[in-house]
Amino acid sequence: MPAKPSIKDTIFFSIQRHYWVDNLNPWIVHFYGGFGIRWYGASYVAGFLIAAWMFSRWARRGRLPLSADQVPTLMLYLSAGVIVGGRVGYCIFYDLHDVMHDPLEVFAVWHGGMASHGGILGLVLALWLFATRFRIDPLRLLDAAAAVGPLGIALGRIANFINGELWGRPTTVVWAVIFPEAPLIGGVNVPRHPSQIYAALIEGLMVFFIAQWTYAKTKRPGLTTAAVCVAYGVGRFIDEFWREPDLGQPVYWGWMSKGQLLTIPMIAFGIILFIRQFKHGAVPKG
């Protein structure tokens, strides 16, 4: 006679019947071991290709202070800045203890870990280096990158959802999702907010539309960058309330995650830049 299921098993199977389980395959093509093409990597490639297409289009229309032939070089700088900055930022902001014990962990990309704040800082540094080399106003380049960047963030968050990572806090809303890798609560894998999708919509697509509108309506350098800093910072601060704080990371004052804390300087910078450029920023001719 089969054993009677425990109360825990009964609860688990009841939950499984009511909520969708994120068992999506993170691989587009999987060769063997850790080799193949992942959705996460493809999201970066797609973001860079879209950016290259939009930059080339703007350059031909005179919206960028460079020629279409210079766009591939710009993309090389940007891709290096985003990838290196994202990885180094993750190691500094979220994994500093392990990196202090083993500095080579910075290069262990197969362990995962990219920080959007680090990627943004890396992008800014790469733009500044490119602008310095070619004697271009860095704010005008930064505005163009800010107008496109949020779409890349949206693609990355969708890839996070496919990977079943960066899951949300427990909830019972009808659209909740069960993430197999999420920590158990009371021995049960409970449904959680699909916070990656929230982030794709709020800090990705919403900010992208704000950036595109601002970039189309103003020629004053820095205003698009300022709008994106404020919109992304506020959006990230809000959607972090649905996201489970990263394991082992501190929660400040009992409610603020590290992701929220890191958005505060970005919001402040955006406000200061907006005031400065609105009052004193020169409007480029043409």
Are 169 and 243 within 8 A, CB to CB?
A: yes
Q: Kindly report, residue by residue over 271-282, the tens digit of the pLDDT.
A: 999 999 988 777
Q: What are phi and psi of 265, to 5 degrees?
A: -60, -35
Average pLDDT of the chain is 88
Higher per-residue confidence, 91 vs 4: 91
Q: Which domain holds residue 174?
A: 20-280
- Mean of the pLDDT values across residues 101-128? 76
In the chain, the number of structural domains is 1
Given this model, what pLDDT does residue 249 score? 76
Contacts with 139 (C-beta within 8 Å, 6 or more apart), sequence order: 221, 222, 225, 277, 281
- Mean of the pLDDT values across residues 187-193? 93
In a domain, 13, yes or no: no
Are 52 and 64 within 8 A, CB to CB?
A: no
In a domain, 15, yes or no: no
- Mean of the pLDDT values across residues 163-168? 94
In a domain, 10, yes or no: no
In a domain, 128, yes or no: yes
Give the position of tokens 């995650």: 257
In a domain, 129, yes or no: yes
Per cent of the chain over pLDDT 90 is 66
In 3D space, the residue among 122, 117, 109, 110 whose CA is nearest the CA of residue 93 turns out to be 117
Neighbouring C-beta atoms of residue 77, cutoff 10 Å: 19
Spatial distance between the Cα atoms of 70 and 66, rounded to a whole number of angstroms: 6
Question: CA-based diameter of the chain, in Å?
Answer: 85
Given this model, what pLDDT does residue 1 score? 47
pLDDT band at 126 (very low <50, low <70, confident <90, very high): very high
Both structure tokens of 152: 């890349």
In a domain, 14, yes or no: no
Both structure tokens of 245: 């704080």
Given this model, what pLDDT does residue 97 score? 67
Residue 265 has pLDDT above 70, yes or no: yes
HSE-up (13 A, CA, CB side) for residue 214: 27
Q: Kindly report, residue by residue over 7-59, the tens digit of the pLDDT.
A: 555 455 555 568 999 999 999 998 887 789 999 889 999 999 999 999 999 99
In a domain, 172, yes or no: yes
In a domain, 12, yes or no: no
Spatial distance between the Cα atoms of 86 and 152, rounded to a whole number of angstroms: 13
Pairing of strands 20-21, 177-178: parallel
HSE-up (13 A, CA, CB side) for residue 129: 14
Spatial distance between the Cα atoms of 167 and 160, rounded to a whole number of angstroms: 9
Neighbouring C-beta atoms of residue 102, cutoff 10 Å: 9
Spatial distance between the Cα atoms of 75 and 221, rounded to a whole number of angstroms: 20
pLDDT band at 94 (very low <50, low <70, confident <90, very high): confident
